[in-house]
Amino acid sequence: MTGGTVSTEKKTGSQKGFQSGFQTGFQTIGIVGSGTMGTGIAQVAAMAGQSVVIADRDTDALAASEANLNGILGRLAKKEKITEAERDRALARISFASDLEDLAPSVVIEAIVEDLEAKQRLFRNLEGVVSAGCILATNTSSLSVSAIAGACQHPGRVVGMHFFNPAPLLPLVEVVASVQTLDAVKDIAYVLAQNWGKVPVMARDLPGFIVNRIARPFYGEALRLLDEGVADVPTIDWAMREIGGFRMGPFELMDLIGNDVNFAVTRSVYEAFYHDPRYRPSITQQRMVEAGFLGRKSGRGYYDYAPGAPDAVPTFDQDLARSIVDRITAMLMNEAVDAVFWNVASPEDIDLAMTKGVNYPRGLLQWADETGAAVLLGRINALRERYAEDRYRPSPMLVELAQTGRKVYGD
The backbone torsions φ and ψ at residue 237, rounded to the nearest 5 degrees and listed phi first, read -65, -45
Q: Find out whether 211 and 353 touch, Cβ atoms under 8 Å.
A: yes
User: Active-site residue among 34, 106, 139, 141?
Assistant: 141
Q: Provide the edge-to-edge strand list for the sheet that holds 158-163.
A: 94-97, 52-55, 29-32, 107-110, 135-138, 158-163, 172-177, 199-204
Active site residue 154: no
Q: Is residue 2 part of a domain?
A: no
Of 205, 228, 257, the one marking the end of a domain is: 205
pLDDT at 26: 66
- 122 shares its domain with 255: no
| DSSP bridge pairs for 32 | 55, 110
Q: How confident is the model at residue 256 (pLDDT cuts 50, 70, 90)?
A: very high
Q: Answer yes or no: do 257 and 185 share one domain.
A: no
- Same domain for 272 and 194: no
Q: What is the pLDDT of residues 95-145, one digit of tens each?
A: 999 887 767 778 999 999 999 999 999 999 999 888 888 999 999 998 999
Structural domain ending residue among the three candidates 205, 238, 265: 205
Q: Assess contact for 94 and 56: CB atoms under 8 A.
A: no
In the residue annotation, 212 being an active-site residue is answered as yes
Residues 186 and 312 in one domain: no
Single out the catalytic residue among 34, 127, 154, 174. Answer: 174
Tell me the CATH number at 172: 3.40.50.720
Q: Which of 162, 221, 252, 262 is catalytic?
A: 162
pLDDT, tens only, 57-102: 999 999 999 999 999 999 999 999 999 999 999 999 999 998 877 6
Q: What is the mean pLDDT of the chain?
A: 92
Q: Does 410 map to a domain? A: yes
Q: Is the pLDDT of residue 49 over 80?
A: yes
Give 363-411 pLDDT, tens digit per residue.
999 999 999 999 999 999 999 999 999 999 999 999 999 999 999 998 6
Domain that holds residue 292: 211-411
Residue 18 and residue 119 in one domain: yes
| Most distant CA atoms of the chain, gap in Å | 67
What integer is the mean pLDDT of 216-244?
A: 98
What average pLDDT does range 32-38 have in this prediction? Answer: 96
Confidence of residue 22 (pLDDT cuts 50, 70, 90): low
Structural contact between residues 358 and 219, judged by C-beta atoms closer than 8 angstroms: no
Number of domains the chain contains: 2
> Of the candidates 15, 41, 17, which has an alpha carbon nearest to the alpha carbon of residue 29?
41
Q: What is the pLDDT of residue 25?
A: 59
Q: Which of 142, 144, 178, 212 is catalytic?
A: 212
Cβ-contact 321, 329 below 8 angstroms:
no
Q: Is the pLDDT of residue 18 over 70?
A: no
> What is the value of pTM for the model shown?
0.91
- End of a domain among 149, 180, 205? 205
Query: Distance between CA atoms of 299 and 255, rounded to whole angstroms?
Result: 9
Q: Is 71 inside a domain boundary?
A: yes
